[in-house]
Amino acid sequence: MAGTLSKGIKLSYKASGDNSYTDLSDLQEIPDLGGTSDSVEVTTLDDAAHMYINGLKDYGDSLDFTFLYAKTQYTTLYGLSGTVAWKVTFPGTSAHTFSFDGECSVKINGVGVNDAITYTLSIKPSSAITVA
């Protein structure tokens, strides 16, 4: 049975002026990557059924990544401004890399009794997601 375990997935960023990507630590969850195309109806009077073509791809309003709280990393991400280059890398020999640009914001997630403190990094994509 083939498959790839989620262990080792990395999210990295490269801010304006940086020469290389910086890996983020304590990642717990990643969002769906990729998108779905809108449907554009192209039915003519000669067609016996509705006909469609793919329209614009929709990645969603934002891509949300969940992390265990660590003050230094949270503060760094909170301080990022403008468009940032992002990269999600899958582990293993058949690794894929998903790259895109976007602006980010962070928020501390709600907690209850005996919960780990987490935060969400939300990225609004401003480019297409490329897969390599």
Q: Is residue 3 part of a domain?
A: no
CATH number of the domain residue 110 falls in? 2.30.110
Read off the pTM: 0.89
Q: Does residue 42 lie in a domain region?
A: no
Indicate whether 99 belongs to any domain: yes
SS3 50: coil
Domain residue limits at 62: 10-31+51-131
Q: What is the pLDDT of residue 92?
A: 79
Reading the chain (132 residues) residue by residue, the pLDDT tens digits are 567 789 999 999 999 888 999 999 999 999 999 889 999 999 999 999 999 999 999 998 999 999 999 999 999 999 999 999 999 999 876 678 999 999 999 999 999 999 999 999 999 999 999 999
User: Is residue 91 one of the residues assigned to a domain?
Assistant: yes
- Residues 30 and 63: their CA atoms lie apart, in Å, by 8
Number of structural domains the chain divides into: 1
DSSP string covering 98-117, please? Answer: EEEEEEEEEEEPP--TTPPP
